[in-house]
Structure 1
Amino acid sequence: MQSSSELFPVALISAEFRGDLSEDVYLLKPNNSPDASVELALTRLGRAGHEQHRGVPLILIPGSFSNRRFWYSPKCIGLGPYLARAGFDVWIAEMRGHGLSPRNQWYRQNRVSDYVRYDLPAIADFIYEQNPQKAHWLGHSLGGITLAGALGGHYLQQERVASVALFGSQISRVYWPLKLPPLEWGGSLLLRGFNVISGPRLKRGPEDEPIGLALESLRWHGLFGRFGDSEHDWWAGLAEVKVPVMAVGAVGDKQDPAWACRKLLEQFGSPVSEFVCLGTKNGFSTDFGHVEMLVSKEAQREVWPLIEQWLHKSPLVAAVNEESAEVPAQLSLG
């Protein structure tokens, strides 16, 4: 079968119409990491009949225990279809071993560092090959953390990024017991006895997570831990990221509190930034939760239009700032 890319082997494994939308599923084999068995599923949603007139690319990254269905249902309801109908060229990434991405040979050892260093750059390169425009990136929870790591580690090219939106993503919540080395070591030893953390069993979501992610998180939150890999301090690197960025937290999110989401935003060096806290005290109809901020009827009415507004406005404001070199802009989105 002929590859759909000149970069690396890519197979178009499915092409369907979903009502007024087209759904194309690609399987990428980048061969850019130590585990040569890695394959990545990438779903594109577009408007049927407009295949030759693609809009600005928008890449959606789901969080932990999740897959592409977080962004759209089999009936094509969700943020992905909403933004595709708004004219964006929507791409939904599934990390190695999640959703339609098959489990790789070293699945147990998969870490965010692998997503950051290998998977996101390959996904970005392929999408740019298909649609050579600056792309918007939007990540939820671990998806947003992965995106922040890729930018802070300079694995994504900023000149190809139109804007970044992070939902329920943070790295600053402190787990004090993990600051005690004996407890950190004991936790690590206990986790090494497992291969995966079961999302369905823990009622966290439809996907499992490899134990490598949990071990990596322990290192991040340990006494001398840092948000980064062996080569780069991702947290420090965020200060050099200048692309427009929006962070969204929710009053009802107990897992990733709004204050910590805001702290991640403040670490970016972008002159165009915005923080939105979803709660009744800020004029929203409810105190949104971690999932409900993007997947709920209230989100459809109140949050999705905010995202569309940000996507249309952020690159325009950034362009004005680059030309005028005036005081950094702050957008007001609620």
Structure 2
Amino acid sequence: MGRPFLFKSLMQSSSNLFPVALISAERRGDLCEDVYRLKPGNSPDGTVELAVTRLGLADEPQARGVPVVLLHGSFSNRRFWYSAKGIGLGAYLTRLGFDVWIPEMRGHGLSARNQDYRRNRVADYARYDLPAIAAFVREQSGQVPHWIGHSLGGITLAAALGGQYLGAPAVASAAFFGCQVSRTYWPLKIPPVEWGGRLLLRRFAHLSGSRLKRGPEDEPIGLALEGLRWYGLFGRFRDAERDWWGGLAEVEVPVLAVSAVGDHQDPTWACRKLFEQIGSLHKHFLCLGREQGFSSDFGHVEMLVSKPAQAEVWPRVADWLRDQQAFLLRESAVVQETA
């Protein structure tokens, strides 16, 4: 028997941060799925609402392990991390005892489209949304979460770290899968081409994931326009206020960066360039390919969603998280001894 659905009138959460509602609570096999709707009210568009799903063990719904936040990429949603059948890295980590939290970005999955949806950018996600999610997860779990981002999710995480919107109090460690901002698109270095691209894109409100055969979700046109600026002639990974790329050199949290040999969208050399820009002294780079001892040359999606990933990648992610948590516990013990 599934967990009872909670009607809206009874869904107020115990959060003291901002309005939060528990919009569903369901049992999915051996897992429980609680979906919260956050309304942080911290951005210029006050209509922004974010759906954040917490995965737990159905027979131990109150158990709280080490919190991990999973950020999906472009044209995607929470199902990238766990399917309706309970398969995925999110479900895998939950069964190992981690406290898994899966946000869906504005207009994705269960997150409604905000009023100014078409102008949504990574800058908004990094400055407003991730800090709100971090505060909520930390409030609910009582611990500092680890973060894992795939593709655009990783780029957003990098922007939040480089822009100092997220830091050590909100991030225990950061893992980037298939994440880069250095690939060169030479036509965009020609100003008339970039200008023409902007004029063309401004005619649309969003890019259709289904039409482009990129995934189940759409992306706001603001993201595409932002990307044109990054990759233009004098483009840089930043917003109008802060230099995210330069700020990455100040990042001190432990970092894992993973690339895949068969990933032609985010090639290894570009992923490594982002990795090398991060200033953390505790970081590790992993490339998924046959020459590196893996069964195949993984692709952009297959690096996390495939049967080989289940056997070869997911255990490494779990080991990384355990290692970081052990490191944090040792550091905490040293601080207490010297206090």
Q: Which residue of 2 aligns with 1:259?
A: 269
Corresponding residue to 1:306 among 297, 316, 339: 316
Name the TM-score, length of structure 1 as normaliser: 0.94
Corresponding residue to 1:48 among 58, 64, 70: 58
Deviation at 1:317, TM superposition (A): 4.0
**What pairs with 1:2-151 in structure 2 (closer than 5 Å)?**
2-151=12-161
**Counterparts of 1:235 and 1:151 in 2: how far apart (Å)?**
10
Q: Which residue of 2 aligns with 1:206?
A: 216
Deviation at 1:179, TM superposition (A): 1.0
**Counterparts of 2:328 and 2:269 in 1: how far apart (Å)?**
25
Name the TM-score, length of structure 2 as normaliser: 0.93
CA displacement 1:265-295 (0-9 Å, x = unmatched)? 1111111111110000000000000000000
8 Å CA contact 1:272, 1:314 repeated in 2:
no
SS of 1:156's partner is coil
**Counterparts of 1:228 and 1:310 in 2: how far apart (Å)?**
29
Q: Which residue of 2 aligns with 1:231?
A: 241
Corresponding residue to 1:189 among 188, 199, 202: 199
Is 2:169 the partner of 1:171?
Answer: no
CA displacement 1:70-93 (0-9 Å, x = unmatched)? 001111111000000011000001
Is 2:279 the partner of 1:269?
Answer: yes
- When the two chains are superposed, the root-mean-square deviation of aligned CA atoms in Å is 1.4
Deviation at 1:52, TM superposition (A): 2.9
8 Å CA contact 2:135, 2:170 repeated in 1:
no
**Counterparts of 1:263 and 1:323 in 2: how far apart (Å)?**
34
CA gap 1:19/1:322 in 2 versus in 1, 3 angstroms: closer
**Counterparts of 1:286 and 1:175 in 2: how far apart (Å)?**
28
Give runs of ≥4 in structure 1 deviating > 6 Å. Answer: 321-324
Corresponding residue to 2:229 among 216, 219, 224: 219
Corresponding residue to 1:153 among 131, 142, 163: 163
Q: Which residue of 2 aligns with 1:296?
A: 306
Deviation at 1:37, TM superposition (A): 0.7
Deviation at 1:320, TM superposition (A): 5.8
Deviation at 1:4, TM superposition (A): 3.6
Stretches of structure 2 that go unaligned for 5 or more consecutive residues are 1-8, 335-339
SS of 2:173's partner is strand
